[in-house]
Amino acid sequence: MGLKGVIKKIIAFLLPEESKRDDNREYSLSLCNENKVVEINHITNNIYNLNIDVTKLKQEEKEKLIEIYPEIRQNNGLILEQNKFNIFKEQREKNRNVPLLKFFKGKIKEEDYQALRMSVYIQRKFSNGEDIKPYLNDLYKKYGQRGYNINNLNGRGYFESFIKLNYTLLQSQERENEFLNFFDKFIMEQPITYFVNQMKSQEVMNEELLSKINKCKRYGIRKLSIHGMGKINKEKIDEFIKIIEDRSDIKIVSRIEIGVAVSLILEIALDT
Amino acid sequence: MDDRFIVFDEKSKEALLEIMNKSVDPEGFIIEKDNPTERVLTKEGEEIKLEEFAGVRKGSEVFIKNDLNSILELAETFE
pLDDT value at A231 more than 60: yes
Stated length of chain B? 79
Chain B residues whose C-beta is within 8 A of a chain A C-beta are 1, 3-16, 18-21, 53-58, 60-61, 64, 66-69, 71-76, 78
* Residues A172 and A236 placed together within one structural domain of the fold: no
* Residues A140 and A115 placed together within one structural domain of the fold: yes
pLDDT value at A240 more than 90: yes
- Interface check A109 vs B, CB under 8 A: no
- Of B10, B12, B71, Cβ closest to residue A87: B71
Q: A78, B56: Cβ pair inside 8 Å?
A: yes
Which phi and psi (to 5°) does residue A228 adopt? -145, 150
Residues of chain B found within 8 Å of residue A30, distances taken between Cβ atoms: 6-8
How far apart are alpha carbons B6 and A77 in whole angstroms?
8
pLDDT value at A76 more than 70: no
pLDDT value at A271 more than 80: no
Q: B15, A54: Cβ pair inside 8 Å?
A: yes
Q: Identify the pLDDT of residue A272.
A: 62
What is the gyration radius of the CA atoms in chain B, in angstroms? Answer: 12
Residue A104 placed within a domain: yes
ipTM greater than 0.85 = no
Q: Identify the band that residue A224 occupies on the pLDDT scale cut at 50, 70 and 90.
A: very high
Residue B52 placed within a domain: yes
Residues of chain A found within 8 Å of residue B9, distances taken between Cβ atoms: 31-33, 81-82
Tens digits of residue pLDDT in A123-139: 999 999 999 999 999 99
Structural domain of residue B48, as residue ranges?
10-77
- Domain end, chosen from A116, A148, A177, is at A177
Q: Identify the pLDDT of residue A24.
A: 78
Round the average pLDDT of chain A to a whole number and report it.
89
Q: B58, A77: Cβ pair inside 8 Å?
A: yes
Q: Identify the pLDDT of residue B13.
A: 92
Top pLDDT among A79 and A117 is at: A117
Question: How many domains does chain A fold into?
Answer: 3
- Model's pTM, two decimal places? 0.79
Question: Which stretches of chain B score pLDDT less than 50?
Answer: none
Residue A182 placed within a domain: no
CB A55 within 8 A of CB B18: no
Tens digits of residue pLDDT in A93-121: 887 788 999 999 999 999 999 999 999 99
Residue B47 placed within a domain: yes
Residue B5 placed within a domain: no
Share of chain A above pLDDT 70, in %: 96
Which phi and psi (to 5°) does residue A220 adopt? 70, 25
pLDDT value at A12 more than 80: yes
Q: In what order do the strands lie in the sheet with B30-32?
A: B22-24, B30-32, B35-39
* Residues A167 and A214 placed together within one structural domain of the fold: no
* Mutant choice from A32, A41, A75, A114 vs B, greatest count of B C-beta within 10 A: A75
- Interface check A32 vs B, CB under 8 A: yes
* Residues A204 and A170 placed together within one structural domain of the fold: no
- Burial (Cβ within 10 Å: 0-12, 13-18, ≥19) of residue A37: middle
Which residue from A31, A10, A8, A30 is spatially nearest to A21, judged by alpha carbons? A8
* Residues A67 and A39 placed together within one structural domain of the fold: yes
Question: What CATH code is carried by the domain that includes residue A196?
Answer: 3.30.110.20
Residue B3 placed within a domain: no
Q: Identify the band that residue A22 occupies on the pLDDT scale cut at 50, 70 and 90.
A: low
Stated length of chain A? 272
B57: DSSP letter: E
Q: Which of A5-19, A146-160, A191-205, B5-19 has the lowest mean pLDDT?
A: A5-19
Residues of chain B found within 8 Å of residue A82, distances taken between Cβ atoms: 7-9
Bridge partner list, B32: B22, B35
Structural domain of residue A237, as residue ranges?
191-272
Which residue from A64, A32, A63 is spatially nearest to A49, judged by alpha carbons? A32
In the chain, the amino acid numbered A168 is T
Containing H/E element for A182? helix A179-189
How far apart are alpha carbons A254 and B1 in whole angstroms?
49
Instruction: Please tell me the number of Cα atoms within 13 Å of B77 on its side-chain side.
Output: 15
- Interface check A102 vs B, CB under 8 A: no
Q: Mean pLDDT, to the nearest integer, of A46-74?
A: 84
- Interface check A3 vs B, CB under 8 A: yes
Residue B22 placed within a domain: yes
* Mutant choice from A88, A95, A96 vs B, greatest count of B C-beta within 10 A: A88
Q: Identify the band that residue A209 occupies on the pLDDT scale cut at 50, 70 and 90.
A: very high
Q: Mean pLDDT, to the nearest integer, of A213-222?
A: 88
Q: Mean pLDDT, to the nearest integer, of A17-45?
A: 83
Q: Mean pLDDT, to the nearest integer, of A226-232?
A: 91
Phi and psi based region of residue A220 (left: phi greater than 0; alpha: psi -120 to 50; beta: remaining): left
What separation in angstroms does the CA of B75 have from each of A31, A138, A237, B64, B65?
21, 17, 39, 12, 13
Is residue A272 classed as helix, strand or coil in its secondary structure?
coil
Residue A156 placed within a domain: yes
Q: A79, B8: Cβ pair inside 8 Å?
A: yes
How far apart are alpha carbons A119 and B77 in whole angstroms?
18
